[in-house]
Structure 1
Amino acid sequence: MTLIKSLKKLIKSTENKEMAVKHVVYYLFRKKSKTENIDNLMLEYNFFYFDNLSYLDQEIDKLIEKNKNQFLESTPGDIYENITTKNLKKSLGQVYTPKNTVMDMIGMHDFSSITTDSDNKIIDISCGSGYFLIPIIEKYASKGFSVKNIVKNLVYGVDKDEFSVFLTKLSILLKYPELENKDLNIFQGDILFDSINPIDDYKFDLIIGNPPYIGHKNLSKNYKEKLYKNYNTYTNKSDISFCFFEKGYRMLKENGKIIFITSRYFMEGQNSFEIRKFLKNNYKIERIVDYNGSNLFKGANISPLIIKLSKEKSSGNFNYSYLYDEKFNHVDFNQGNLKSDKWIIRPQTQLELLRKLYSETQFRIKDFIEFKQGIITGLDKAFVVTDDIIKEYSLEKDLLKNWIKNSNIYKDHIINVNNYKLIYSKDLDISLYPKTEKYLNQFKSRLEKRRECKKGIIKWYELQWPRKREIFEEEKIIFPYKAKEPTFFNDKNNLFCSADIYIGICKDKDIKYENLVKYLNSKIFKFICSMELKKVGKDLYEFYPYALENLPIINKISFILNYSQ
């Protein structure tokens, strides 16, 4: 078993895993200390050693002895990144940038004109474990700067998390043992709000890093109110990472640069209007490297891009590289052509085709289709049953409906349609169905804890959001909300479906469903979707109604509309 696996197993055995992670890392590198300067740093941060976890130390010593070479080669960031908990990463918005990507980003900055007389200040405003700062120190050192001059006058770091600040300092001192803690300009604080001296007194030539990703659901109400008040880029359901672009603008010198790796969500997201407008109107975009749905980060469901910005106005071209079919394609794109409602950056031929398709029609999907969402049961384990359960409990068949989820849907058929049944319990007297009542009763305590049940909106045995029965018991279009391509199915078999499926109801009874579905699954519509819909994974798109509603129905294929007149 490797050192990392053994440490993770050790941490898993503790009650407070987040505390244990810090204790383990602190103890490991206290053992590795070879200099008085590191000893002094350890003394300053000795509150990360927890006496109630000292019983782990003997086991850690054994693991060090057993994995000595691996331990000696490891850095604080390596250990922490690999053993920290998902909850801790999520609360801090931490996603660790691969080291080769770090080097690629540093390589985007022009160091060629920097001389030992220069005062080019660089800062990472979410420095994590120091992944960006150490290679930057090395870059400056290669230009003839003394390491002490670099860390005292040129390279800075900030992080809200005090343990991250400790890790960054420790990493630098391990790399450069001649340095002292007092030489380092690494500070703990919330860069978005805190006054941090001496950083407040400087303007920077380069701000680089990986800002934290924390969505609105994981922020307190008070903190969100502060963001709303102080950052125009933070709006309804925004991510905190947007604010780092605005804060960075305030911290840069004129013509200073930002190089961030961040989620590509802002290019297409419904709630990203203000950040798109801010970036276009305040920065010159120099380069975007878009991983186009591919996941670069280990253990995080985030598709990133790298963006390089300059603090100056521009309407000229920038270089856009996007990953497609395992290789990067390159486009020169005019910044003035970016639209605030969505950034669609593709070769001119594709954009011209898209414009042509829109120009050929005045019709939109919403003119013909009304969208509905599938059912939220509130507890699938209770309401979704198999044939074995139906037989065991002799459940009343009147309440049972064929049930599917998004993975069951294909363009031309539904798989496993008979595998599950839904107990459709809405607006009924459960005492009239004693067998079903007896079965559901085993889940009663959990069902009663549902929000709608507590508020008296539904009875304990009812579905949480059952929708209207008639939606499901008529002809309709069903499709998964996430798919690699348009996957629309014409259902004539009264299928009931989960909330990961959306439903399309024709607004006019004379519209022929099967022909409409042919268009929605066509190559033309697939092209439109690939240009317009938000990409959330490798070859994976979101087919949310708000995005579909305004897509065109092309006149030339208006045969799909089978009006009797």
Structure 2
Amino acid sequence: MNKDLKNIINQFSDDENTLNKILVSIFINSNSLKVKNNKLIKDLILNKESPLYHHIVFATYKFSFDELIESFELAIPSKDKVVNGAVYTPNYIKSFIVENSLSKVKKPLAEIKSADISCGCGAFLFTVANKQKNETQRPFSKIFEENIFGLDICQTSIKRTKILLSLLAISLGEDEKEFKFNLFCGNALSFDWESNCSAIKSNEGFDLIVGNPPYVRAKNIDLETKKLLSNWSVTKSGNPDLYIPFFEIGIENLNKNGILGYITVNSFFKSVNARELRNYLQTNKYELSIIDFGDEKLFESKSAYTCICFLSKEKSEYLLFKKETSKTLQKNGLEKFNKIPFKDLDFLRGWIINNKQIVENIKRIENAGESLGSKYKIKNGIATLSNDIYIFKPIAENENYYTLIRNGKKFEIEKGICRDIIKPNILKYEHEIESVKEKLIYPYTNGITPLSLMKEEQLKSNFPKAYKYLSFHKDDLQKRDKGNGDYEAWYAFGRTQALTDKGYKLLFPYMAKDPHFVFTDQKDMMIYCGYAIFNESVEELKILKRILESKVFDYYMQHTSKPYSSGYLSYAKNYVKNFGVCELTEKDRYFLSNGATKEEVDEFLIEKYKIQI
């Protein structure tokens, strides 16, 4: 995008009317359009006397429709983007979805009623309308009134959709005084299409729904929206992100022969909060085709990984799946899919969907022996909900005290109330343990079971310096859980998980690019921000470490785990627990524990698991 245009958008993004006038005026001027009749557009054209006109004078670049759409999407205030999930969809993605969705609808193009139920500034509706115009030659006044329907929660976006569609018509010689639109401002989670559109009721739903459902993470969803989410069956697992119910909403608003085409995040294959969505799709056996872009980022402003989904109410015993890139999408189209039977998919643990060879390899790995989760204890770390207060790196110590600095103030903490703690998320090798190990203020019975929190008088009497330090931070500790925490005492940890965990262990992070498991024999050392696999045998854990740092385990994670940005994968318990730990003979165990190189271990395990990588 042109640098001057970006500067204009940044300058006026919070002034909707002014920015609309500038963008429309630049577009009109750049494309040498004459507007004589259309009231909406005429009211937005700046005259030469306007103090804003200098923005148009210096706009010598060609301003296309695609750039106008991108400008409208970028101009949405950042606070609204977080809440509403608006994002600019590349033109080739819109065209691909619209072309291939419409080709599946068994109805003459002139009769198809299409909708985008989270339309943003109208990019998908623009693409549909343009295609209907080009191929049917019907006037836009008819297309807008009879064929195109849009909904968005943001009134600004609805207005910009009207502007965009009006400019489309004007650019092709249809300068009507006013167009009649079926564009509504409302919440898709509660909007009733049939009561608002008699045409949709008589059509028994839409023939086509396309779009890019809002990607708003659960933590950014407001209370009112959370209440509405509960009305949909696919939102009953975990804390659902906002895109999840849009599959069900779309299906509910299609007619019996309708087609849905979405570009959306691919995390629903495996994420815990999409379990009920997977169950919904499997149970109903909807005809579903998925084109997965893997870890390629299609959206500049989002780190999410995406896929294209085509869905209909037709019944099927299997889903279609394939991987593509942005460069191969148009070339391969809707060819070369893998058929994956719904009966082979487990909605609870996540879908393993890939080509036949990979699926077969995963099955062999998981069936090679007892699963990691059943054979070993996999535990999460502690959760104080205020790590910067409880956890510290001493700047000095003596026989009785550790010294730390917080907020420019020096404190001494009794050694007797402290425990060693480590953060697996920043750990890769055993030799790093001592340099990254920290101290934890532990106001409990210091590892003695049964666990109990120290009484306040006991804490104050036995550890007066620690008590003074915690008291200094009392206000902050009471603000945890937004002040609504139900703690045994104000100085208690936010959660009681993992407080008595001890033993030999392998430490590993929440996410990683490649597997690394760090063994420690420091039984009493606690963990936070990461996981640990516990076992009473040092030899057992060291052999397991060789297996989990192998090419086999890495391959397993690459094809079963949830991807994050920059090539990172989730190593959450839910994704590692089903890995099959192969059965080993004494000879095998000796080989793995006596100096074999990583390459030798990889070769040995690939043969052991009988897989082809």
Is residue 373–residue 577 contact of structure 2 (8 Å, CA) maintained in 1? yes
Once residues 299 and 498 of structure 1 are traced to their aligned partners in structure 2, the CA distance between those partners, rounded to angstroms, is 34
Aligned residue for 2:161?
A: 168
Tell me whether 1:371 sits opposite 2:378 in the alignment. yes
Once residues 362 and 261 of structure 2 are traced to their aligned partners in structure 1, the CA distance between those partners, rounded to angstroms, is 31
Aligned residue for 1:521?
A: 549
**Change in 2 beyond 3 A, CA 1:462/1:279:** closer
Note the C-alpha offset of 1:384: 4.3
Residue identity in the other structure for 2:90:
P
Any idea what SS the aligned residue of 1:182 has?
coil
Any idea what SS the aligned residue of 2:310 has?
strand
Equivalent runs, 1:335-346 vs 2, <5 Å: 335-341=341-347, 342-346=350-354
**Change in 2 beyond 3 A, CA 1:37/1:278:** farther
Any idea what SS the aligned residue of 2:308 has?
strand
Any idea what SS the aligned residue of 1:158 has?
strand
Is residue 30–residue 42 contact of structure 1 (8 Å, CA) maintained in 2? no
Note the C-alpha offset of 1:489: 1.2
Residue identity in the other structure for 1:187:
F
Aligned residue for 1:315?
A: 317
Once residues 5 and 466 of structure 2 are traced to their aligned partners in structure 1, the CA distance between those partners, rounded to angstroms, is 49
Note the C-alpha offset of 1:478: 0.8
Note the C-alpha offset of 1:547: 3.2
Tell me whether 1:548 sits opposite 2:550 in the alignment. no
Any idea what SS the aligned residue of 2:121 has?
coil
Once residues 102 and 11 of structure 2 are traced to their aligned partners in structure 1, the CA distance between those partners, rounded to angstroms, is 45
Aligned residue for 1:512?
A: 540
Aligned residue for 2:59?
A: 68
Aligned residue for 1:395?
A: 412
Once residues 454 and 523 of structure 1 are traced to their aligned partners in structure 2, the CA distance between those partners, rounded to angstroms, is 46
Runs (4 or more) in structure 1 with deviation over 6 Å come to 112-117, 326-329
Is residue 475–residue 494 contact of structure 1 (8 Å, CA) maintained in 2? yes
Aligned residue for 2:511?
A: 482
Once residues 378 and 248 of structure 1 are traced to their aligned partners in structure 2, the CA distance between those partners, rounded to angstroms, is 39
Note the C-alpha offset of 1:261: 0.9
Aligned residue for 1:122?
A: 114
RMSD: 3.9
Once residues 165 and 328 of structure 2 are traced to their aligned partners in structure 1, the CA distance between those partners, rounded to angstroms, is 35
Is residue 105–residue 259 contact of structure 2 (8 Å, CA) maintained in 1? no
Residue identity in the other structure for 2:479:
K
Tell me whether 1:334 sits opposite 2:340 in the alignment. yes
Aligned residue for 1:150?
A: 143
Q: TM-score, normalised by structure 2?
A: 0.75
**Change in 2 beyond 3 A, CA 1:476/1:256:** same
Tell me whether 1:291 sits opposite 2:285 in the alignment. no
Note the C-alpha offset of 1:268: 1.1
Please, which of 75, 87, 92 is the counterpart of residue 84 of structure 2? 92
Deviates more, 1:216-225 or 1:119-128: 216-225
Deviations 1:15-48 (A, max 9, x none): xx8xx253543453475677466544787x9xxx
Any idea what SS the aligned residue of 2:304 has?
coil
Identity rate, percent = 21
Q: TM-score, normalised by structure 1?
A: 0.81
Is residue 268–residue 534 contact of structure 1 (8 Å, CA) maintained in 2? yes
Once residues 63 and 500 of structure 1 are traced to their aligned partners in structure 2, the CA distance between those partners, rounded to angstroms, is 54
Once residues 499 and 241 of structure 2 are traced to their aligned partners in structure 1, the CA distance between those partners, rounded to angstroms, is 37
**Structure 2 stretches of 5 or more lacking a match?**
29-33, 397-402, 445-453, 592-613
**Change in 2 beyond 3 A, CA 1:469/1:185:** closer
Aligned residue for 2:279?
A: 277
Please, which of 16, 34, 55 is the counterpart of residue 22 of structure 1? 16
Please, which of 168, 184, 189 is the counterpart of residue 186 of structure 2? 189
Once residues 239 and 37 of structure 1 are traced to their aligned partners in structure 2, the CA distance between those partners, rounded to angstroms, is 44
**Change in 2 beyond 3 A, CA 1:157/1:453:** closer
Aligned residue for 2:530?
A: 501
Is residue 403–residue 420 contact of structure 1 (8 Å, CA) maintained in 2? yes
Once residues 391 and 367 of structure 1 are traced to their aligned partners in structure 2, the CA distance between those partners, rounded to angstroms, is 41
Equivalent runs, 1:86-485 vs 2, <5 Å: 86-111=78-103, 118-148=110-140, 149-177=142-170, 178-195=175-192, 196-198=196-198, 199-202=200-203, 203-219=205-221, 223-229=225-231, 231-236=232-237, 237-282=239-284, 284-285=286-287, 287-315=289-317, 318-322=320-324, 331-341=337-347, 342-361=350-369, 363-386=370-393, 388=395, 390=403, 393=410, 395-396=412-413, 398=415, 404-410=422-428, 412-413=429-430, 415=432, 417-418=434-435, 421-427=438-444, 429=459, 443-451=473-481, 457=487, 463-465=493-495, 471=501, 474-485=503-514
Task: Number of aligned residue pairs: give it.
Answer: 536
Note the C-alpha offset of 1:295: 2.9
Aligned residue for 1:51?
A: none
**Change in 2 beyond 3 A, CA 1:327/1:37:** same
**Change in 2 beyond 3 A, CA 1:112/1:498:** closer
Once residues 427 and 339 of structure 2 are traced to their aligned partners in structure 1, the CA distance between those partners, rounded to angstroms, is 38
Is residue 374–residue 497 contact of structure 1 (8 Å, CA) maintained in 2? yes
Any idea what SS the aligned residue of 2:256 has?
strand
Once residues 510 and 488 of structure 1 are traced to their aligned partners in structure 2, the CA distance between those partners, rounded to angstroms, is 14
Aligned residue for 2:447?
A: none
**Change in 2 beyond 3 A, CA 1:22/1:493:** farther
**Change in 2 beyond 3 A, CA 1:78/1:117:** closer
Note the C-alpha offset of 1:168: 0.5
Please, which of 546, 559, 562 is the counterpart of residue 531 of structure 1? 559
Once residues 372 and 36 of structure 1 are traced to their aligned partners in structure 2, the CA distance between those partners, rounded to angstroms, is 70
Deviations 1:383-407 (A, max 9, x none): 4445558477373472566654345
Deviations 1:68-126 (A, max 9, x none): 23595575533333243432112112233122221222232355999988412221111
Once residues 395 and 561 of structure 1 are traced to their aligned partners in structure 2, the CA distance between those partners, rounded to angstroms, is 49
Aligned residue for 2:596?
A: none
Is residue 383–residue 495 contact of structure 2 (8 Å, CA) maintained in 1? yes
Once residues 481 and 539 of structure 1 are traced to their aligned partners in structure 2, the CA distance between those partners, rounded to angstroms, is 14
Once residues 554 and 84 of structure 1 are traced to their aligned partners in structure 2, the CA distance between those partners, rounded to angstroms, is 53
Deviates more, 1:127-136 or 1:536-545: 536-545
Note the C-alpha offset of 1:259: 0.7
Any idea what SS the aligned residue of 1:311 has?
strand
Residue identity in the other structure for 1:457:
Y
Any idea what SS the aligned residue of 1:68 has?
coil
Aligned residue for 2:608?
A: none
Residue identity in the other structure for 1:544:
A
Is residue 515–residue 561 contact of structure 1 (8 Å, CA) maintained in 2? no
Deviations 1:189-209 (A, max 9, x none): 233422322444433222110
